[in-house]
Homo-oligomer: A and B are copies of this chain.
Amino acid sequence: MNWQLPKINWANFFMDTGIIILKLTVIYLIYIIVKKVGFKLIARSFQKLEERKEISLGRSRTLQSLITNIFSYALVFVFIVTVLELFNIKATAVLAGAGVVGLAVGFGAQGLVSDVVTGFFLLLEKQIDVGDYVTTGSFSGIVEAVGLRTTQIRSFDGTLHYIPNRMITTLSNHSRGNMRALVDITIPYEKNIDEAIKILQSACDALAEEEPKIIEGPNVLGVQNLGTSDVVIRVIAKTENMAQWEVERKMRKVLKEALQSLQTEKD
């Protein structure tokens, strides 16, 4: 064991450092330019597509957000490989290596591959489009962007959720057809059920005529539950997509007033 400092040729060291910084700057500028140009080209192409109205607006925006996403990932990948080669590190060799590093990378990157595979099928099977109202896991909201790796969902309180695609194991899409409006209304145990149902149904019919968003008139189904002092009556309707909450609110108001008027008459 002997004691000596490694000799460093300081002149060369600063030269090399300077050249590398120069190269880095040039590469970064090219990266910035290519990125801006690419993004504009993509945006313009999709603008034309939308004008021709060949595919639905949601689908076109989904594809645009996806292609922008793929383009920027490819660019970043090329950029990183180039920079690493400046420092004499061959990225592809590292990826192909089978040592401990390779193993760790393989396992670490596993999640990434799952994300891309799941994202690919999400789009291929048209499970999701920008603008859809979806639920996945414990997240609900409007889809803002679909990427190769992540999907962005904005919930109704304004929060933006970033969800890796592999986390989307099951997807519930609420924008794929008409929705149901359901109201449970409680009447006292002593009341005559037939009479109550008749009054509720006529209130429903009146609402159905007024409200164009109702597709299949609210119908009184019957006794849903027998409590010890109450009887629960269920009423359901079919509405246009996304109109279910509004219709439910109107139904609640109308049904409550119908029951109340009945009460008043009797008194």
> In the complex, are the beta carbons of B162 and A170 less than 8 A apart?
yes
Contacts of A139 in B (CB 8 A): 170, 172
Q: How far is the CB of A235 from chain B (nearest CB, A)?
A: 11
CA distance A149 to B120 in the complex (A): 12
Given contact pairs A97-B100, A147-B125, A256 touches B223 in the complex (Cβ within 8 A): yes
A173 at the interface (CB under 8 A from B): yes
A49 at the interface (CB under 8 A from B): no
User: Per-position contact with B for A244-259: 1 when CB-CB < 8 Å, else 0?
Assistant: 1110011011011100
Those of A112-137 within 8 Å (CB) of chain B:
112-114, 116-118, 121, 124-125, 127, 135, 137
A107 at the interface (CB under 8 A from B): yes
> In the complex, are the beta carbons of A161 and B172 less than 8 A apart?
yes
User: Per-position contact with B for A135-153: 1 when CB-CB < 8 Å, else 0?
Assistant: 1010100000001011000
A9 at the interface (CB under 8 A from B): no
Given contact pairs A158-B177, A223-B252, A101 touches B111 in the complex (Cβ within 8 A): no
CA distance A177 to B118 in the complex (A): 28
> In the complex, are the beta carbons of B173 and A160 less than 8 A apart?
yes
**How many copies of this chain are found per oligomer?**
7
Mostly, the A contact residues are mixed
Q: How far is the CB of A62 from chain B (nearest CB, A)?
A: 15
Contacts of A95 in B (CB 8 A): 99-101
Which residue of chain B lies nearest to A117 when distances are taken between CB atoms in the complex?
B108
Contact sample, A vs B, 9 pairs, CB 8 Å cutoff: A98-B100, A104-B106, A104-B113, A127-B150, A135-B159, A158-B244, A162-B172, A193-B253, A221-B246
* CB-based closest 10 A-B pairs: A108-B113, A222-B249, A158-B179, A160-B176, A223-B252, A96-B99, A103-B106, A127-B162, A107-B110, A104-B113
